[in-house]
A and B are shown apart, each in its own frame.
Chain A
């Protein structure tokens, strides 16, 4: 009976140990506490995803910097130099890079999250844990790439003689918003991908279109005033503009309402995604 007493100590009150199993399939918010109790599994899965991502690649972690850098160079040549797009008073390469970092984080997170449930099908059919842990871990693992490319950006800024001001601490806000957006969209797509494998084919070109609908190669000040609120419906608009402003103090007079609309959209995405995921969760083992 020693095993039992150990359990009581580690888990807490015995009331939490009772589990009722039944066919309830109702719409509800996911049990955040349950996910929290599985935080160790979450960290192990995140750590696994980070550890295996660049296994057997020659360039390894360099890929994390190479992806946004090469895109930045292409953008700088075509949009910055040839098309001479307004970059809100900062050098165009910095302008593009500062937007590509949150965007790459978002798009890579979305791609890995949408495949995460399928990729972990052996877990889903063999062990129980709140399934939300899987897409969350795959999104979190992309934070490493995000941090690395951020260091590269800081280096680039120093090359251009720019030093970030105090507002760099505000970067936490757009980073959190990017995380929230990626999680929300990731919940939606990972659950949908189990039922409709079409997601795998639709996602790459949707992301491409989405990229040009976000102020990455250009500034949102290019969009006419009355359309800005509509433009803000894209949650990545707020993320990118905030990120760029906090880092480089751009001169763009971004209307706070547009940012607000974006932020609200991010939150809506997170909440609806979590609800949909929770609704479908019980069928996952039968769908994969």
Chain B
């Protein structure tokens, strides 16, 4: 038995800095601002990454994952967002190192974690084929011998010598995928590459992928789409919170995984779902710029739920597909109460002070992005709120926004409600305010 990949107790830890301590006074803020460089220098000299002096939390993206992949096998990797799928591929393609454990990979590895890696907008399509090919690990002779094939598959024909920045997003996608699809490696690591582009293009890509998997190479395929995992893969594994939950024949694993998915949505007290996702690009809310992938409500520990206590923060995760190369977006949420009155609307360009969203006003490459909104505890009152999601491309804010009304709803509950006889908190919000009473007479 020849194993192409042997993964042994692979673990990867990230250190996440906890939210900075609350500053009481203006003086504290000033003092902290001036002592920060000293503290950082201190940790730098000690050889620790900056910020480690602050409180950090360990987060295990992968924990003790072991499995083997036979030569020529096509293995699907499924799991929720943040379950460690991408981290696994990144370690196997040597982009990042594991914290402990190891893996043995036999054969030349090609990884497609993104379509169009290293494309340069100023360069022509022809130049980009060579550039991208070299980055994916193709030799010049290889690219030359398959050049015509790549151009033909991409259907960009006459635009071969036009700078890529003038391409439509469809043309760009086709060219980028064509280069990637002609990568000749014994082991192919593929992450969600098919989740972009229009429906026809996806179909073409899946067909190409099916051809690729028939040539006897080993493929690891990460996807949200059960359909493509089932058609492409022999075996599949499920990751959950960084741990290997199941591995086996693709049919069994999907049967195991799907009911669990439904359960997590139904295990809560109310029948309303904590998440909604669109795997079929036809039914997903979309326009020329962006299509919505999924929206999820959860508590701070990542457990999907629609029930929150008064003091619990509410996490809203919005995953969307950027279809327009180089566009940037405002991602916003709107909350309405049961009477339909707006309670608030807020976007990522208006984030908390000092915590600006790194992708605001940044040109997005094509692919899936996930924006997370954190609504602090002790802000909303104990009632039910409906969540609407709006994604507005910054270059054309007036008419091209994608608005999905009332995609999910959640309820805030007051655990102490039984002790009171009457509702004494009026209105849609219920923040805790600073109060001080003194004797004035």
Residues of chain A touching chain B, judged by Cβ–Cβ distance below 8 Å, are 1-4, 6-7, 10-11, 17-25, 40-41, 44-45, 48, 51-52, 55-56, 120, 122-129, 195-196, 282-283, 285-287
Q: Choose, from B135-143, B265-273, B315-323, the stretch at the interface.
A: B135-143
A19 with B113, Cβ < 8 A, contacts A127-B93, A196-B44 known:
no
| Chain B minimum-CB-distance residue to A120 | B118
Confirm or deny: B105 has a beta carbon within 8 angstroms of a beta carbon on chain A: yes
Chain A residue at minimum C-beta to C-beta distance from B184:
A3
Shortest CB–CB separation between residue B14 and chain A, in angstroms? 7
Known: A17-B107, A19-B105, A52-B122. A196 touches B50 (CB 8 A): yes
Contact A23 B113 (CB under 8 A): no
Closest residue to B114 on the A side, CB-wise? Answer: A126
Q: Is the CB of A129 within 8 A of B137?
A: yes
Q: A17-B108, A18-B105 are in contact. Are A122 and B186 (CB under 8 A)?
A: no
Residues 96 to 153 of chain B near chain A (Cβ within 8 Å)? 96-109, 111, 113-114, 117-118, 120, 122-123, 127, 130-131, 134-137, 139-140, 142
> How many residues from B make CB contacts under 8 Å with A?
49
Are A21 and B94 CB-contacts (below 8 A) given A3-B184, A3-B217, A4-B186? yes
A1 touches B106 (CB 8 A): no
CA–CA, A125 and B191, complex, Å = 13
What is B's interface to A at a CB cutoff of 8 Å?
14, 44, 49-50, 90-109, 111, 113-114, 117-118, 120, 122-123, 127, 130-131, 134-137, 139-140, 142, 184-186, 215-217, 365
Across-interface contacts of A23 in B (CB, < 8 A): 97-102
Is A6 in contact with B184, judged by CB distance below 8 angstroms?
Answer: yes
Residue of B90, B105, B216 touching A4 (CB-CB under 8 A): B216
Say yes or no: B123 contacts A21, CB within 8 Å. no
Measured CA separation A2–B72 after assembly (Å): 12
CB-based contact B184/A19 at 8 Å: no
Are B49 and A7 interface neighbours, CB within 8 A?
Answer: no
- Chain B residue at minimum C-beta to C-beta distance from A197: B50
A-B pairs, 6 with minimum CB distance: A22-B102, A282-B97, A44-B134, A285-B96, A128-B94, A21-B103
- Determine the chain B residues whose CB is within 8 A of the CB of A45 once the complex forms: 134
Which of A7, A51, A55, A129 makes the CB contact (< 8 A) with B135?
Answer: A129
Q: How far is the CA of A282 from the CA of B14 in the complex (A)?
A: 14
Pick the contact of B216 from A3, A21, A55 — CB < 8 Å? A3
Is B117 within 8 A of A48, CB to CB? no
Cα–Cα, bound, A41→B117 (Å): 14
Closest to A56 in B: B122
List residues of chain A with CB within 8 A of the CB of B118.
Answer: 120, 122-123, 126-127
With A19-B104, A51-B123 already in contact, the answer to whether A126 and B131 are too (CB < 8 A) is: no
What's the Cα separation between A283 and B95 when bound, in Å? 9
Q: How far is the CA of A18 from the CA of B6 in the complex (A)?
A: 11
Residue of A20, A25, A125 near B104 (CB, 8 A) is: A20
Of B98, B122, B130, which one neighbours A21 at CB under 8 angstroms? Answer: B98
Residues of B within 8 A of A20 (CB): 102-105
Name the CB-closest residue of B to A25. B97
Chain A residues within an 8 Å CB radius of B137: 41, 127, 129
In whole angstroms, what is the CA distance A195 to B52 when docked? 12
Indicate whether A21 sits within 8 Å of B105 (C-beta atoms), given known contacts A48-B120, A52-B123, A126-B95. Answer: yes
- In whole angstroms, what is the CA distance A45 to B137 when docked? 13
Question: Which residue of chain B is the closest to A192 with respect to CB atoms?
Answer: B44
Q: Are A127 and B96 in contact (CB under 8 A)?
A: no
A279 → chain B closest CB, angstroms: 10
Question: Can you list 26 A-B pairs with a CB-CB distance of less than 8 A?
Answer: A1-B216, A3-B184, A7-B185, A20-B102, A20-B104, A21-B94, A21-B103, A21-B104, A21-B105, A22-B103, A23-B98, A23-B99, A23-B100, A23-B101, A40-B139, A41-B135, A48-B123, A51-B123, A51-B127, A56-B122, A125-B90, A126-B111, A126-B113, A127-B111, A127-B118, A129-B135
How far, in whole Å, are A40 and B97 apart by their CA atoms in the complex? 25
The distance in angstroms between the C-alpha atoms of A1 and B114, with both chains bound, is 26
Supposing A22-B102, A41-B134, A44-B130 touch, asked if A195 and B95 sit within 8 A by C-beta, the answer is no
CA of A56 to CA of B163, assembled, Å: 13
User: With a CB–CB cut-off of 8 A, which chain B residues contact A286?
Assistant: 14, 96
| Closest CB in chain A relative to B127 CB, distance in Å | 7
CB neighbours (8 Å) of A17 from chain B are 106-108, 186
